Structure 1
Amino acid sequence: MRFSVGSVFRAMSATVQARPRGLVYEKHGEPAQVLQLKDISLSELGASGVHVRMLAAPINPSDINMIQGLYAVLPDLPAVGGNEGVGRVEKTGIGVTSLKPGDLVIPADAGLGTWQTEAVFKEEKLLKMPPDIPLVSAATLSVNPCTAFRMLSDFETLKPGDSVIQNAANSGVGQAVIQIAAAKGIKTINVVRDRPNLQELVDRLKSLGADHVITEEALRKPEAKDLFQKIPKPLLALNGVGGKSATELLRHLQHKGTMVTYGGMSKQPVTIPVSALIFKDVKLRGFWMTQWKRDNAQNKEELDRMIADLCTLIRKGQLSAPACQEVPLADYQSALTAAMTPYISAKQILLL
């Protein structure tokens, strides 16, 4: 089911007098055990505050890690969960110049706590969204598509016809990489884990623009080299898994190519063959979207340009939101369970 801005607004109007609520945790641990849905108090609006009524927010792996206490940055406790989402501006402080009531906004940084029905945020912590962007696309824009966009832009100069190889190709980042690369004429080799519904997944990724979809097991076989009779060896590898999967990406990387690590879903270290460093002179880099945003916090032109470019792709039908399952906030426990279950590809979206 898809929901529209209008339907969400109508649903909100029935509960507009309700107290603000949020998913709060007072200690780190497993989300299902430490999160509680409770009434919360709003901060004072002040001169630079923006009162936002949240509409929808996804559950991402980074959200889970933050609640578990395993993320690189952790908010002060007690805290509200969630790093991504979309909301509507209700009121602004007298010093706010970039936003007005009715504007749609998304977080400009991590750690805001988006799993709440309403909140007061600082103006500089929000980005204005065009009103014509679908709500689910807006709610899922600030993490995965931005990560994919930067990795395709910042590490190698890719031109149409070049190729990129990635693992975790069915993840939110992976799906965004496929679509953004296809829009630029860049070929993608997409590595996924074997699973019972493999053909269904292959078909879905190819419908997004994937050129080749291959399992990790197939990539290890000698026949995998035949793939590169059809397309050039990749100049860029994107690693969201780690362990043996990352080593396989390196094996197929072009001479002097780059592997960018942005995640470690296997929880295994990245092992680098000496031959890859000596004879192929590969470059190993890491990327974290949160750090990129903080490095560019004083000059938002690059961030604004990236959001504008992504919105253009959305309007053209070249970048869609991942498959989503929309869940009312009150049913957050079922959403958490689904978000942490292997092989469930639908991203859980909390309706706030």
Structure 2
Amino acid sequence: MENTALCYRQFGEPETVLWRETAIKAPLQPGYLRVQMLMAPVNASDLIPITGAYRHRITLPAVAGYEGVGRVIAAPGSAAALIGKRVLPLRGEGTWQQYVDCPATLAIPVPDTIPDTLAARAFINPLAAWLMLSLYPPQGKRVLLTAAGSDCAILLGQWARRQGATEVYGIHRSAVHADRLRAMGIIPVAQHELDSVRALAAASDIVYDATGGELALAILGAMDKSAAFICYGLLSGQPFALQRHFPSVHWFHIRNYLDALAPEAWQATFRDIWSWLVASHYSDTTLLPFTDWLILTRHLRTAFVS
């Protein structure tokens, strides 16, 4: 079976090091599914590793992509019922290819009610939001989000409200996000209004931060010491130094929790996520064909078909 994949053999900017390669697919390993990909998203979490940011845990050559949805075309006897069904082929091979092999116990069945465009994006951001809210519950608390227009933040905001947060505020850089955030029940605040940002930080019980840099420092400097600051990203590209007077800071990296999830817990988590995700607002998508892969590297919220 021939398989076409988007691979990188060295680290660098995706548009310069990512290449389309066709080769014969290796035989299916025992206990694995083979999935014909239908759709996969382009996410910051897909592109950043290509640059070499996590080179210490990536073996080259590598196939890009961490999530997506496909249809099972081959399975071991214990998972034969999945043949012809849609699954998320996760925690196996890179997903930016025509055929993905993944452990049968870790493939997530997709309910019929979930469209491909939503299923393809059901891993990185939804699972991160779900885990953060489980680890740092928002019930009865005033919540502040940074990068509030991002996919992970809008899920954090909506789900925090459903879990009993008293108020959820979202810091955004562009005014185009304000109306959208209000429609989700998230109170928008412009990032350049620093006095408002500091006032909200001082009154917040928990902050979920995806930016780092100067914004994180401004928020931390205003927060009460009894509050909690959850850092799950550095979209600014700038780290920040902790000071003694800051509140408690918690660093969240989704990969640190995956190995602790046994297959049964992994499957149960997604059964919960599906019902929450289908009832939530999420970003729109632009569909592009697999052949336009160079364009894909420049679109962080793009789903493409194989």
Report if aligned partners of 1:234, 1:252 keep a CA contact under 8 Å in 2.
no
1:72–1:203 distance in 2 versus 1, CA, 3 Å: farther
Report if aligned partners of 2:70, 2:89 keep a CA contact under 8 Å in 1.
no
1:149-298 → structure 2 map (5 Å cutoff): 149-155=130-136, 157-159=137-139, 161-186=140-165, 187-193=167-173, 195=174, 198=175, 200-210=176-186, 212-218=187-193, 220-221=194-195, 225=199, 233-276=203-246, 282-296=247-261
Report if aligned partners of 2:198, 2:222 keep a CA contact under 8 Å in 1.
no
Report the CA distance between 1:73 and its aligned residue: 5.8
Secondary structure of the residue aligned to 2:177 is helix
Which residue is equivalent to 1:140? 121
How many residues matched?
A: 305
Secondary structure of the residue aligned to 1:188 is strand
1:103-118 → structure 2 map (5 Å cutoff): 103-109=85-91, 112-118=93-99
Q: 2:3 aligns with which of 20, 40, 49?
A: 20
| Structure 2 portions without partners, runs of 5+ | none
What amino acid is aligned across from residue 350 of structure 1 in structure 2?
F
Report if aligned partners of 1:108, 1:125 keep a CA contact under 8 Å in 2.
yes
1:99–1:26 distance in 2 versus 1, CA, 3 Å: farther
**Identical columns (%):** 25
Q: Aligned partners of 1:222 and 1:100: how far apart in 2? A: 52
1:309-348 → structure 2 map (5 Å cutoff): 309-315=272-278, 317=279, 319-339=280-300, 347-348=301-302
After TM superposition, the runs of 4+ consecutive aligned structure 1 residues lying more than 4 A away are none
Whether 1:78 and 2:57 are equivalent positions in the alignment is no
Report the CA distance between 1:254 and its aligned residue: 4.1
Report the CA distance between 1:172 and its aligned residue: 1.6
1:77-96 → structure 2 map (5 Å cutoff): 77-94=60-77, 96=78
Q: Aligned partners of 1:40 and 1:209: how far apart in 2? A: 49
Q: Aligned partners of 2:80 and 2:43: how far apart in 1? A: 28
1:222–1:174 distance in 2 versus 1, CA, 3 Å: closer
Report the CA distance between 1:268 and its aligned residue: 1.3
What amino acid is aligned across from residue 125 of structure 2 in structure 1?
N
Q: For residues 246-286 of structure 1, give each alpha carbon's deviation from its aligned partner in whole angstroms, at most 9, with x where no partner exists.
A: 1233244344221111111112122334322xxxxx21111
Report if aligned partners of 1:44, 1:120 keep a CA contact under 8 Å in 2.
no
Whether 1:64 and 2:47 are equivalent positions in the alignment is yes
Report if aligned partners of 1:106, 1:139 keep a CA contact under 8 Å in 2.
yes
Q: For residues 65-109 of structure 1, give each alpha carbon's deviation from its aligned partner in whole angstroms, at most 9, with x where no partner exists.
A: 111111266432222110111111111123x43852022211443
Report the CA distance between 1:152 and its aligned residue: 1.5
Report the CA distance between 1:306 and its aligned residue: 2.3
What amino acid is aligned across from residue 348 of structure 1 in structure 2?
T
What amino acid is aligned across from residue 177 of structure 1 in structure 2?
L
Q: Aligned partners of 2:52 and 2:227: how far apart in 1? A: 34
Q: For residues 117-161 of structure 1, give each alpha carbon's deviation from its aligned partner in whole angstroms, at most 9, with x where no partner exists.
A: 112222234222222212111111110011111111202x432x4
Report the CA distance between 1:162 and its aligned residue: 2.0
What amino acid is aligned across from residue 306 of structure 1 in structure 2?
T
1:267–1:328 distance in 2 versus 1, CA, 3 Å: same
Report if aligned partners of 2:213, 2:239 keep a CA contact under 8 Å in 1.
yes
Secondary structure of the residue aligned to 1:292 is helix
Q: Aligned partners of 2:160 and 2:63: how far apart in 1? A: 35
Q: Aligned partners of 1:57 and 1:312: how far apart in 2? A: 21
1:184–1:102 distance in 2 versus 1, CA, 3 Å: same
Q: CA RMSD for the aligned pairs?
A: 2.3
Report if aligned partners of 2:110, 2:119 keep a CA contact under 8 Å in 1.
yes
Report the CA distance between 1:222 and its aligned residue: 6.1
Secondary structure of the residue aligned to 2:181 is helix
Q: Aligned partners of 1:188 and 1:248: how far apart in 2? A: 19
Report the CA distance between 1:57 and its aligned residue: 0.7
Whether 1:51 and 2:31 are equivalent positions in the alignment is no
Secondary structure of the residue aligned to 1:77 is coil
Which residue is equivalent to 1:128? 109
1:113–1:251 distance in 2 versus 1, CA, 3 Å: same
Report if aligned partners of 1:25, 1:79 keep a CA contact under 8 Å in 2.
yes
What amino acid is aligned across from residue 328 of structure 1 in structure 2?
P
Q: Aligned partners of 1:60 and 1:223: how far apart in 2? A: 28
Secondary structure of the residue aligned to 1:338 is coil
